[in-house]
Amino acid sequence: MTKSKETSEPAGGEQRRLQMVDIARLAGVSVSTVSRALNGSELVNAETRQRVAELARSLNYSINFGARNLRLQENKTVAVVVPYDARSRQHISDPFFLSIVGAIADALTDRGYDMLLSRVDAERLDQAAHWVDSGKAIGVILIGQWRQHDQLNDMAARKLPLVVWGGEMPQQLYASVGGDNVLGGTLATRHLLQLGRRRIAFFGDAKLPEVWLRRQGYAQALREAGVEVDAALELAAPFEPGVATEIVRQFCQVRRDFDAVFCCSDVLALLATQALRAVGRSVPADVAVVGYDDMPLAAYCDPPLTTVHQPVAEAGVALVEALLAQLAGERPALRTMPVYLMRRASAPDAAA
C-alpha cells in the first residue's frame, strides 16, 4: 500500500503542473506568476490574482499547501546570466560585466532577493530559461542581446519573466533596459568632428545590436557634418581583448589615414591607444580616441580616456525593477536611459 501511495504522488504533482501551465496560458502570464497569485503574493496585482483564481476554479485546480515552501512563491532568487562567445570566450572579469553585475546584485540585495550568476553560450540565449523552468529562479536578467533577437522574442512569447540589458530593436517583445546607443554614437562622433577630425574610424562589431545602434549614431553625425561614411575605416573588432588585440594592431599598422577613432568599449579604446603608440602615432596629437561605457579605469588611463558614460548603477536598479514588475503581472516594457560624453585628455576640447 505504501508503494502505491508513493508512485501516485508524482502523477498528482505532474497533473498540478499541467493545470498550472494551462492557467498561465489562459491568463497570459508566466507559470511563476500563477504560482505566486494562487498563494496570495502581493508581488502580483489584485486584478491578476483574481483572474488567475477564477481560471483555477474553472479547471478544478487545487494547491498542495504541504509543499508550499518548496514552490516558486517562496523562491527569491533571480538568475543573472552573462552570455559568452564560444569562439572568443569573453571573460566575466570584463570591466563592464563586473560593473553591471555588481549594480544588479546591489539592487537585488536592497529588495531582499538573491542572485544566481550563470553563463550561457551567446548562440543559445534560450538556455537561460532553464533556471526558471527548473524552479531555481523566479526570473532572468540577461546581459546583452548578442545576435539572438529572435530567441529572446520566443522566450518572451512563452511569458518567461525576462529583462535584457541591450538596445531597443524592431518588433521587440521582451523587456529591455539600455543606454541610448544612438545618442552615444552621435555624441562621440560630433565631439571628434568639433575637434577638426574628419577621418574618424569606428571600432566595434555592428552585428551586435548595441554596437549597430552606436554605429547609426556615428554615421548620422558624419552625414550631418557633410562627411562621407567610409567603410574602409570601420573595424569589426570584438569586445574580448584576447581576440581584439591583434585585429586592432593590424588595422593600425596598415591604415595611417585616420585622425580619430570611436571605439564601442573602453577596453577597445585602450587597445587602440596601445596599438597606435606601437606604430609611432601619438594620442591625441595624431589620433584622438573616444571610448564607450566610462568604466572606473577610464579616468586613470594614459592619457585619461574621453568616453560615453553609461548609467550602470541606475541600470542595475532599472533592470531589477523591470523584472519585479513582470512578476507582479505587468507587461514587459522597454526603457532607454540617457548617456553623456565624459571629456578627458584622449580627445580634449579644442581649448584644452
Query: What is residue 91's predicted lDDT score, i.e. its pLDDT?
Result: 65
Distance CA 175, CA 100 (A): 17
Reported as a single tens digit per residue, the pLDDT across 313-334 is 999 999 999 999 999 989 889 9
Q: Name, of 13-27, 145-159, 243-257, the range with top average pLDDT.
A: 243-257
Distance CA 77, CA 136 (A): 7
Can you name the residues that pair with 306 across neighbouring β-strands? 290
Query: What is residue 13's predicted lDDT score, i.e. its pLDDT?
Result: 47
Query: What is residue 89's predicted lDDT score, i.e. its pLDDT?
Result: 56
Are the C-beta atoms of 192 and 200 separated by less than 8 Å?
yes
Q: Is the pLDDT of residue 16 over 60?
A: no
Query: What is residue 65's predicted lDDT score, i.e. its pLDDT?
Result: 41
Q: Which helix (H) or strand (E) holds 200?
A: strand 200-203
Query: What is residue 30's predicted lDDT score, i.e. its pLDDT?
Result: 84
The residue type at 102: G
Query: What is residue 62's predicted lDDT score, i.e. its pLDDT?
Result: 54
The residue type at 50: Q
Q: Is the pLDDT of residue 94 over 90?
A: no
Over range 133-156, report the average pLDDT: 87
Q: Is the pLDDT of residue 1 over 60?
A: no
Q: Is the pLDDT of residue 52 over 90?
A: no
Beta-strand runs (E) in 183-224: 200-203
DSSP 303: S
Instruction: Tally the residues of the chain.
Output: 352
Task: Please state, as a whole number, how many other Cβ atoms lie within 10 Å of the Cβ of residue 183.
Answer: 19
196 versus 59: the higher-pLDDT residue is: 196
Over range 27-33, report the average pLDDT: 84
Over range 273-300, report the average pLDDT: 96
Residues 6+ apart with CB under 8 A from 109: 115
Over range 270-287, report the average pLDDT: 97
Q: Could you tell me how far CA 10 lies from the centroid of its own chain?
A: 38
Instruction: Order the strands of the 77-81 sheet from edge to edge.
Output: 114-118, 77-81, 139-143, 162-165, 175-179, 334-337
214 versus 48: the higher-pLDDT residue is: 214
Query: Shortest CA distance to 315 belongs to which of 79, 107, 80?
Result: 107
Distance CA 208, CA 149 (A): 10
Q: Is the pLDDT of residue 75 over 90?
A: no
pLDDT bucket at 66, cuts 50 / 70 / 90: very low
Reported as a single tens digit per residue, the pLDDT across 212-246 is 999 999 999 999 999 999 999 999 998 888 889 99
Distance CA 116, CA 131 (A): 9
Instruction: Order the strands of the 288-293 sheet from edge to edge.
Output: 234-235, 200-203, 260-263, 288-293, 306-309, 340-342
Task: Please state, as a whole number, how many other Cβ atoms lie within 10 Å of the Cβ of residue 15.
Answer: 12
Query: What is residue 182's predicted lDDT score, i.e. its pLDDT?
Result: 97
Q: What share of the chain is helix, strand, coil (3-state, %, to 5)?
A: 50, 15, 35
